[in-house]
Amino acid sequence: MFTVLMSVYAREQPVALDAALQSLASQTVLPAEVLLVKDGPLGPELDAVIDRYMRDLPLVTHPLPANVGLTRALNHGLRLVRQPWVMRFDSDDICVPHRVESQREMALNGRLSLFGAQIFEFDVSPAQARRSRTVPIMHSEILAKGLVRNPFNHMTVCYRRDLALSVGGYPEIPFMEDYGLWMRMLAQGIETANSHESLVFARIGNGMLARRGGVRYARSEWMLQRHMVALGLKSRRRALWDGSRRSAVFLTPVAVRSIVYEHFLRNDALRR
C-alpha cells in the first residue's frame, strides 16, 4: 500500500544513502515500492550504492537527465507512484525498524489522509541523537500550528497519492515545498494526525543552521505566506505578521538562530 518516495542528487554522501536504504531493507514490514528519483547524474559511487539494494528492496529508479531541484524531482516521482499511499523519506535519514508497520496501521484506520510522526535528530550517528522535533498529534492542533510553523516532520509523512495530485502536488517554494503541500491538503478539509512515536532519525549534520537562513530562506518564507493567503487559510494581515517574525529569525546571525533553535524549537531527546 506504500510507495516510499525519495530523491537523490550528486552531492549526497554515499555512506548516508547506504544507511538510509539499509534502514528500509531492515523494516519489519517492507513497503510495496521504493521509488528513487535520480535528480540528474549521480556518479559511480552513489549508483553503486543504489545497485546493491536492487535485490533487497522493491526498488524502482527514475533517472532525470539533469538536476531539476527537489520540488520538480518529487513531482516527477509523484506521478509515477503505483501505490495509493506515498511515504516520504529523505536519502540521508534513517527509519526505525518498525516505521512502515506502524504507519501502515495508521493508514488502515480509514480516517486519515495525511499523517506523520516525531523525529530524533543527529549529527553523525543516530546513537548520539541529542535533540528531537516534536509536532502536534491531534488534527485541531495540527491545523492551528500549521498557520505559524510546519506541523509535520516531512521525512515521516505519509499521504494519499490521489489527494496530492488533485491539489497540484508540491508547490515551487524552495526549502518549503513540503510545508506548502501540507497546506494545500489542509485547505481541502482533510483529517490529519501525528503519531506520538519517533519513527525517523533525521540527519542534521554540521552547518544546518547556516543553511536554514539568509535572504533566500526569507524570500521563500514570503512565498509560503502568500501561498497560505491564496488558499484562504489566513488573512493578509496575519500573513504579514507571521512572515515578518519568521523572516527576522532567518536573517539573524547564525549564533542567534542557534539560541532560538536550541531553546524554543527543539527538545532534549534524552528527556523523552
Residue 198 above 50 pLDDT? yes
- Say if residues 42 and 73 touch (Cβ distance below 8 Å): no
pLDDT digits (tens, 9 = 90+) for 9-61: 999 999 999 999 999 999 999 999 999 999 999 999 999 999 999 999 999 99
pLDDT digits (tens, 9 = 90+) for 251-262: 877 666 666 666
Q: Considering the entire predicted model, what is its pTM?
A: 0.91
Cell output for 236: 493578509
Q: φ and ψ at 64, to 5 degrees?
A: -100, 140
Give the angle subtended at the CA of 120 by the CAs of 211 and 256, to the nearest 5°: 40
Cell output for 81: 507512484
Please report where in the chains the cell 549521480 appears, as a residue.
42
Range with lowest mean pLDDT among 40-54, 83-97, 201-215? 201-215
Contacts from 254-261 at CB under 8 Å and sequence distance 24+? 254/209, 254/210, 254/213, 257/209, 257/212, 257/213, 258/209, 261/209
pLDDT digits (tens, 9 = 90+) for 236-252: 999 999 999 888 888 87
Provide the sign of the torsion angle of the four alpha carbons 183, 257, 121, 139, taken in this order: negative
